[in-house]
Amino acid sequence: MDVPEGFSPTFILVLNLLGTFVFGLSGGLAAVRARLDLVGVVVLAAVVGLAGGIARDVLIGAPPATFRDWRYLAAAAAAGAVCFFAGRVLERVERSVMFFDALGLGLFAVTGATKALRFGLGPVQAILLGAITGVGGGVLRDVMLREVPTVLREGLYAVPALIGATVLVVTQRAGGTSPVFPVLGALLCIAVRLVGVKYRINAPRPRDPTDRPGPG
């Protein structure tokens, strides 16, 4: 529809489908953990896998790709099926929800930023939109399971997404057309996220507000 700047569209599509699949795994496994039934597992896998891309397209005013290309649906549904049938195995992988979520975060941060640039957004906006694409699915997953979204609770969640998107935007602005750059951005995001989880690194907290009583 519009001329890509540099990357092969197929390459970006593959990253997007991969991101949809791993985010779907993260949603499906969270559903298995919450003891939802088969439909709940597939639905949550689909929601988490597809939400980031839908949010991205709606926010940049692009025709939503999700419902134009059956492969996104297939990737999300496949993730749901895998979680239902193999969830017990995947569950054994400690913190598996978090792990697949981190993979999706990195992949969607760079593909989201790429699409934003293609639709003519400025670099700062593209970075932010990349981060939103990465973060969106997880927010919905957490809200639907009645948890405070990870992006609010953990310092190293939005930050790695911003880092990954920044790598993409900076290198592409500098004329880089090699697929190395999106891969680099995604890997950097994933690495920072996993390190943050492992060592429980958080951003600084505001100082304790006066613990005043009252109706506030």
In 34-154, where does DSSP find H-type helix?
Answer: 38-60, 70-92, 96-118, 123-144, 150-153
Among 116, 117, 168, 194, binds a second copy (CB under 8 A): 116
Task: Give the C-alpha separation, 68 to 70, whole Å.
Answer: 7
Q: Which residues contact 8 (CB under 8 A, 6 or more apart)?
A: 179
Q: Does 213 bind a second copy (CB under 8 A)?
A: no
What is the nearest approach in angstroms of a second copy to the Cβ of residue 179?
A: 26
Of 140, 116, 124, 134, which Cα lies nearest the Cα of 189?
A: 134
Q: Does 173 bind a second copy (CB under 8 A)?
A: no
Among 15, 17, 31, 194, binds a second copy (CB under 8 A): 31
Question: If you compute the radius of gyration of the chain from its CA atoms, what whole number of angstroms results?
Answer: 17
Q: Does 206 bind a second copy (CB under 8 A)?
A: yes
Whether residue 107 contacts residue 115, with contact meaning beta carbons closer than 8 Å, is answered with no
Among 1, 5, 38, 180, binds a second copy (CB under 8 A): 38
Residues in binding contact with a second copy, number by CB under 8 A: 71
Among 2, 5, 8, 95, binds a second copy (CB under 8 A): 95
Intra-chain end-to-end CA distance of the chain, in Å: 52
Among 54, 78, 105, 189, binds a second copy (CB under 8 A): 54
Q: Does 125 bind a second copy (CB under 8 A)?
A: yes
Among 4, 13, 64, 170, binds a second copy (CB under 8 A): 64
Q: Does 170 bind a second copy (CB under 8 A)?
A: no
Whether residue 105 contacts residue 144, with contact meaning beta carbons closer than 8 Å, is answered with no
What is the nearest approach in angstroms of a second copy to the Cβ of residue 139?
A: 8
Closest CB to a second copy among residues 16, 66: 66
Among 13, 14, 18, 36, binds a second copy (CB under 8 A): 36
The whole-angstrom distance between residue 146's C-alpha and the CA centroid of its chain comes to 19
Q: Does 73 bind a second copy (CB under 8 A)?
A: yes
Site map 142..161 versus a second copy, x via CB under 8 A: -xxxxxxx-xxxxxxxxx--
Question: Collapsing DSSP states into helix, strand and coil, what is residue 150?
Answer: helix
Q: Does 198 bind a second copy (CB under 8 A)?
A: no
Phi, psi of 62 (to 5 degrees): -90, 150
